[in-house]
Amino acid sequence: MSIYDTDTDPEADLGHVTPDTEFESDLAMDVKAQLREVLDPCSCMSDHPIDIVDLGLVDDIAVDEETGEARIDILLTSQRCMYVIDITDEIRDRVESVPEIESADVHQVTSGKVWTAERMSDEQRNERRERFEARIEAADITPYAEQSD
Amino acid sequence: MLESGALVVDSVSHCFNHTEENLKHDHAQRWNDETFELGEQLQPDEYVHPKEVFYRDHSVEELERLLFLESEVDYTNYHSLPLDDYFHDGLVSREKGFELRDRNPNRVSMYADINPLDDDAVEQVEYFVKERNVEGIKLYPSRYQNGQDLSLQLNEDCVRPVLEKAAELDVTSVGIHKFIPFATAPVRYFRMGDVEDAANAFPDLNFEVIHAGFSFLEETVFAMASHENVYANLENTIHMACSRPRKFARSLGEMLYWAGPDRIVFSGGSTALHPQAAIESFWDFQIPEDMRAGNDYPEVTDEIKEKILGKNALRLLDKDPEQVKKDIEGDKWDKLRQERKEDGDFPAEPWSTYETPA
């Protein structure tokens, strides 16, 4: 739902947690594994559930191994997202289910940084496009630009 | 009017009432604030309203000066809004629209807002079409009532009689707000599935999806490519040509590639946005070469721009461009424009013709 430049912008500033992001801390990796279980509510409605890491909603993960405190920064697709409470609660519940985690804080990034479709994993973006193209093919639609040739 | 002589037709103008007295719902102030912020994000600084200009009950006189003296819009289509669940007057009142049209009969068309949940919604369609000569109706996908967000999708039983009456009366077009969620209404209400169903069920009605290209792009493109009666209305979206050019390029490129240039219409978004910001940036716009090469997007030629800026809308409204030109030639606004051109003051500076000048 971003109004900002999307997946074709080569200059977009990303720097977020992706499915491929590695952390030195095993505990941080465990937290990330739990975040991959949290599904984006809107994607569930579209019959193609995407977890919040694949969608690029997780901006950062920080853990203190001594105190067992975790902090998860999330950047929503829209600051107006009405599911923020549900997402936050599920993140907290899942992360606190990790035995070494005592508490989890979830922070919504409001610095002005914006979610773009480029933050989605390549796999998810490609799948979305494949679904679109399959639908076009099933409907036997010839692109206008090719009709004109 | 463009230098080529082609008309500029604005497919959505509103006369907003952003005053505190007009707020009815807890989220109404937030709605106003987010509309203001949208303008800040989408427009060059010089086109952003001063807050004292934005947060007021915009008058008909101000809207007509905004359109006809501060911008190159020659003809506009006023949409009233059915948001009386959030704002006492619906946010954009019908009566201001009728006044605007009465003052400028050769330059204004109108779509009247309908709330399908009103007991007399069907009768309202008949009244506004037959008695008030509106060319279309304007619907919203959700309504807040009795503490709940109610769905008003175009494929629902409560909406169907409204569409049936519109089709029976040969209404030109149904405008439906999509793509920009508001307040607490679920995001699914702003997707395209119901538009496809309605376009199938009512092949003689045209459906203008408002804010097309803002989100759910692939669904939109699919609906346009598979239904000849689905139009993309670029209200707000077209302002991304100046502020988010690559996102706009992707939206426009996909529409042009899959559905062609004949069912895309420009909207200036007055009075929430400044129409001239969009006209100038769109006229200078081109899809970046790397995006064209990678996606087979066509060049956005002057011919395509003239279609989007006016010709498509006139065809949708069943207006003859040459007749419209004759009708407005020498009228009050044409004369004022000529005077200003001689003084080097057309288009006038943004918001300079308002009662509370910028």
**Best CA proximity match to B256, nearest among B290, B212, B215:** B212
The total domain count for chain B is 1
Among A45-54, A111-120, B193-202, B203-212, the least confident range: A111-120
Residue pairs between chains A and B whose CB atoms are closer than 8 Å: 77
Task: Supply the ipTM of this predicted assembly.
Answer: 0.84
Interface list for B 290-319 with A (CB within 8 A): 290-291, 294, 296-298
Share of chain B above pLDDT 90, in %: 83
pLDDT grade for B351, boundaries at 50, 70 and 90: very high
Q: Residue B4 falls within a domain, yes or no?
A: no
Q: Residue B1 falls within a domain, yes or no?
A: no
Calculated CA dihedral for residues B150, B156, B162, B163, nearest 10 degrees: 130
Q: What is the pLDDT of residue A79?
A: 63
Is residue A1's pLDDT more than 60?
A: no
Contact A5 B244 (CB under 8 A): yes
Q: Residue B316 falls within a domain, yes or no?
A: yes
Q: Residue B351 falls within a domain, yes or no?
A: no
Q: What is the pLDDT of residue A80?
A: 61
- Per-residue model confidence as pLDDT tens digits over B225-238: 999 999 999 999 99
Q: Residue B156 falls within a domain, yes or no?
A: yes
Which CATH superfamily includes the segment(s) A26-142? Fe-S cluster assembly (FSCA) (3.30.300.130)
Rounded to whole angstroms, the Cα distance separating B119 from B340 reads 49
DSSP H or E stretch at residue A77: none
pLDDT grade for A70, boundaries at 50, 70 and 90: very high
Q: Residue B356 falls within a domain, yes or no?
A: no
Residues spanned by the domain of B38? 9-342
Q: What is the pLDDT of residue A41?
A: 81
**Summary mean pLDDT of chain B:** 94
Q: What is the pLDDT of residue A117?
A: 74
Contact A141 B218 (CB under 8 A): no
Residue A4 touches partner B, C-beta closer than 8 Å: yes
Q: Enumerate residues 6+ apart whose C-beta is below 8 A from B271.
A: B13, B14, B15, B16, B58, B62, B63, B66
Contact A8 B257 (CB under 8 A): no
Is residue B194's pLDDT more than 60?
A: yes
Q: What is the pLDDT of residue B34?
A: 86
Q: Residue range B59-85: average pLDDT?
A: 96
pLDDT grade for B243, boundaries at 50, 70 and 90: confident
List phi, psi (to 5°) of B238.
-70, -20
Q: Residue range B254-274: average pLDDT?
A: 97
**Best CA proximity match to B326, nearest among B4, B3, B2, B7:** B7
pLDDT grade for A149, boundaries at 50, 70 and 90: low
Q: Residue range A113-130: average pLDDT?
A: 83
Q: Which residues of A touch B240 (CB under 8 A)?
A: 3
Q: Residue B41 falls within a domain, yes or no?
A: yes
Q: What is the pLDDT of residue B336?
A: 98
pLDDT grade for A2, boundaries at 50, 70 and 90: very low
* CATH number of residue B310's parent domain: 3.20.20.140
Q: What is the pLDDT of residue A148?
A: 61
Domain ranges of chain A: 26-142
Q: Residue range A50-59: average pLDDT?
A: 94
Q: What is the pLDDT of residue B333?
A: 98
Q: Residue range B175-197: average pLDDT?
A: 86
Sign of the CA dihedral B258, B262, B263, B266? positive
Q: Residue B243 falls within a domain, yes or no?
A: yes
Among A2-11, A62-71, A89-98, B140-149, the least confident range: A2-11
Is residue B144's pLDDT more than 90?
A: no
Q: Which residues of A touch B41 (CB under 8 A)?
A: 3
